Chains A and B, each alone.
Chain A
């Protein structure tokens, strides 16, 4: 029983309580379903804050570990093994923060089948938190695959006109990568005799020549999820068709499952392969940065623009992670959070205008600043954060990543290269171009369309869901130290392990 009320078990499975309550509500009591979902997700957020309070940032290892035997047979055993460390704590907090915000954003946007929507949303939260906390490969895979189901329904049932195509594409793409990872997990479990992450890391006995294959099998799953160029084509469809809250969670958290997967599994389990393949991964990341930025520039649909900008931003995260030094990885993790906040907020902003005008075509707007000043100010802050203006969160993350990619801190500077950093820096400039262009088209100048003259400015609920994000945007931008402190020791330990493997592991 003690484990039932363990903070990590609670933070993972508390949403299930909300699911059970909503399940037995009559379908017409929409507001009750909304409130139950909101309160459950807020309570989950509260518990995650309690987890943060108990978390010791000095300790680089897993903390608050729950480890229970789950499935045991003669040849292998699977444990219900949760734990949290510096690599995952920020992402857990991001998840628990974005979920209530997303739920609040659906208050008037979702009117059909509210009950089911809330159930799927809470189930999704369980899956996402589970992925960040699971320390047993098998358990991780279960949570990982499980996130597919609610997201598939969220897109397919509440999405736009082309939702079924987008939902199926999302499911098939993601599953295609996952099944390869499943084979690698099985192989690892059989070959190493355990599915437990700490044990696997401690053993560190995967032969170098096999590491490459296993690395690639895991990377298949994660690269599709991130998504890395050229595996990104599901993303614009899913984002554009998903309901606003779905897009927020998709961009804010689900994509991070991929980058987190690289961080937790590829880097920790296959350090030698990671070291060898880092230039390739970084190269793809840079292509993604530039490609995403250029395609964003070409979009007319503002939601598509934000979707493609994710490809570009996640490219930065990947570049940071595969810089394989402390600055890069820390910047990468922080940029995951930044992207969750900024892009999440951007999707919320797009959703707000879509609710009013039922179009997302940038040409349909113009001069909104005059009509909706509060909306304009908040959009400006978020847009500037997304393009990396100094003083806001995006700058801190991107700066650390570029520093890492440049090669500061690497013993032999094997990846560190002016090229990666230089090309990625062009991506920062391109981001400024497409974001400012979007802002100019929609907000500046005279009001060009009559339909826009009488648009209502944001109401208190809408302001309320953006304000926490804006506060965090400023906080990280002005004083990022607490965030770096949380992840610092864990990242240093990870980087040290990779660099020692790089010295010994390569023939």
Chain B
């Protein structure tokens, strides 16, 4: 029916715009002279803004597309907005950084757009095949971006490691999809759910398939024990890429997990909830404890991002309890926003003190920042306090909503692990503040407009959005997951 096609097109309209823009940008970049790659960056940023406009103009309506393979709804709009903003931050952070580290290649920006495209698709996917497609679409550009620092060895290593483990995890996802198909005879979320309701499925196959998908996506969002690649990749990749990856890939991965689990698998919660519980607890504990031992700020942020994946996963634990599930989704989304703002603030400061050839990424390189660059140090301090979860920052509000979801679901033990590991995390986050404010030093800092803008916007957002968090929270709680 033409009506159906029209609806489908409307549902993916932002994706079409972004895809077209990225392809055209790839061509335009060829005629942009090598010393003017800033134009590519500007065009890419405009593309993201246009897409954001199209996305928000689409409103809140619920558009299923392509026979239910794709759903555009409040949830996807929320996640896509976050992803587009992350893309913008990824460009702003890269703009001067790539120039000064002599990594400026025009393809950086189109690749970033493609990655955002894949992430957005992931948040809309309502069919396992689309999930896989989106997974590859977001991963492949990220493999290249991680390695864009060639011939720097660590960047090559990061790229290769990310690629090998990423391919491995894709294998898990595909195998999981195959098993789910074997169990239910379909890959569509709706159809699988129907098969479960009608009891025409193979329970054990479905469980194994779902577990394998969890493993595969667990790699992407970096939860223990699938986190091994994270520190090396975040450390080796150019910092602007790490920042973008730490937020975007995580948001997309969790979006897919949330949709798949909440919509399709509530009936398996008796088996899956303990698994999620254990992964979440392990991730929080390991991420936070190992972060203590780090002396490199990029590795510290990598372990911190692992730990935060554990916190977000916490929201998923009570996913099977109908009345808490909506809150699960809302608190996970809210925490993703909190994590995004805080991360970009922190990474912006890291990029500001980083020099070429990986110089300036040790914790000690931040010494004296509080004295010489009070503004930048304040941004980092806000980020560290927000990561710790101290009010008045988004990190605190995010944790508050997470813990209240988990406690509502009856998992007080997990909430206890959550708060205790936050306490552990205070130790290393405070160390960053100690080094900035209480040690003498002469940090070498770049003053770059877009970098400073990102840093201050992220830090101001971290504080102000927490004090005036009602709209954001309402937005997140409207993003419920439903089939129709």
Contacts and interface: CB of A to CB of B under 8 A. Distances in A.
Interface of A: 70-76, 113, 116, 138, 141-142, 145-146, 148-149, 152-153, 156-157, 163-164, 167-168, 171-172, 175-176, 179-180, 182-183, 186-187, 189-190
B430 A168 contact: yes
A153 B400 contact: no
Contacts of B390: 145-146, 148-149, 175
Contact of B400 (A164, A167, A186): A186
Contacts of A168: 427, 430-431, 434
A172 B426 contact: yes
Interface in B377-429: 385, 390-392, 396, 400, 403-404, 407-408, 412, 415-416, 419-420, 422-423, 426-427
Contact of A74 (B385, B420, B469, B477): B477
A142 B391 contact: yes
Contacts of A149: 385, 390
22 contacts: A75-B408, A113-B371, A141-B391, A145-B391, A146-B390, A149-B390, A156-B433, A156-B437, A168-B427, A168-B431, A172-B427, A176-B423, A179-B419, A179-B422, A182-B403, A182-B419, A183-B419, A186-B404, A186-B415, A187-B407, A190-B407, A190-B408
Contacts of A183: 403, 407, 412, 415-416, 419
Nearest to B422: A179
B470 A71 contact: yes
Given A156-B438, A187-B412, 11 more contacts: A71-B469, A71-B470, A156-B433, A164-B438, A167-B434, A168-B431, A172-B423, A179-B422, A183-B403, A186-B400, A186-B403
B328 interface: no
A374 B416 CA distance: 54
Contacts of A116: 374
A340 B423 CA distance: 29
Interface in B321-341: 327, 330
Given A179-B419, A189-B404, A146 B392 contact: yes
A71 B334 CA distance: 14
Contacts of A75: 327, 408
A116 B374 CA distance: 10
B407 A171 contact: no
Contacts of A190: 404, 407-408
A98 to B, nearest CB: 24
B356 interface: no
B204 interface: no
Contacts of B420: 179
Contacts of A74: 477
A73 B423 contact: no
A141 B404 CA distance: 14
B434 A73 contact: no
B423 A179 contact: yes
Interface string B420-460: 10110011001101100110000000000000000000000
B295 interface: no
Nearest to A168: B430
A163 B438 contact: yes
A153 B396 CA distance: 19
B200 interface: no
Nearest to A77: B470
B473 interface: yes
A70 B473 CA distance: 12
A148 B473 CA distance: 26
A73 B473 contact: yes
B101 interface: no
A332 B474 CA distance: 44
Given A149-B390, A190-B408, A73 B438 contact: no
A82 B448 CA distance: 43
A72 B438 contact: no
A168 B431 CA distance: 8
Contact of B438 (A141, A145, A148, A157): A157
User: Which 9 pairs, one residue from A and one from B, show the smallest C-beta to C-beta distance?
Assistant: A179-B419, A142-B391, A186-B404, A145-B391, A156-B438, A71-B470, A186-B407, A73-B473, A190-B408
A157 B371 CA distance: 11
A141 B477 CA distance: 23
Contacts of A70: 470
Contacts of A113: 371
B308 to A, nearest CB: 16
A22 B431 CA distance: 27
B437 to A, nearest CB: 6
A457 B392 CA distance: 44
B400 A182 contact: yes
Contact of B437 (A71, A138, A157, A182): A157
A185 B46 CA distance: 45
Interface core residue of A73, A74, A113 (most chain B CB under 10 Å): A73
A237 to B, nearest CB: 15
B191 to A, nearest CB: 31
Nearest to A148: B390
Interface in B298-335: 327, 330
A157 B374 CA distance: 14
Contacts of B374: 116
A153 B385 contact: no
Interface in B51-88: none
B426 A171 contact: yes
Contacts of B477: 73-74
Contacts of B370: 157
A179 B469 CA distance: 21
Contacts of A189: 404
A79 to B, nearest CB: 12
A72 B427 contact: no
Contacts of B415: 183, 186
Nearest to A141: B391
A128 to B, nearest CB: 15
Nearest to B472: A71
Contacts of B437: 153, 156-157
A183 B431 CA distance: 25
Contacts of A141: 391
A75 B474 CA distance: 11
B423 A145 contact: no
B419 A142 contact: no
Interface core residue of A145, A152, A164, A179 (most chain B CB under 10 Å): A179
Contacts of B430: 152, 168, 171-172
Contacts of B407: 183, 186-187, 190
Given A73-B477, A146-B391, A168-B434, A180 B419 contact: yes
A113 B440 CA distance: 13
A225 B371 CA distance: 30
Contacts of B404: 76, 186, 189-190
B403 A164 contact: no
Interface in B187-217: none
B476 to A, nearest CB: 9
Contacts of B427: 168, 172
Nearest to B401: A73
Contacts of B433: 156
A186 B410 CA distance: 12
A77 to B, nearest CB: 9
Nearest to B391: A142
A157 B404 CA distance: 35
B426 A142 contact: no
Nearest to A179: B419
Given A186-B407, A187-B412, A145 B434 contact: no
Contacts of A179: 419-420, 422-423
A234 to B, nearest CB: 14
Contacts of A153: 437
Nearest to B473: A73
A152 B390 CA distance: 12
Contact of B473 (A71, A156, A176): A71
A442 B371 CA distance: 39
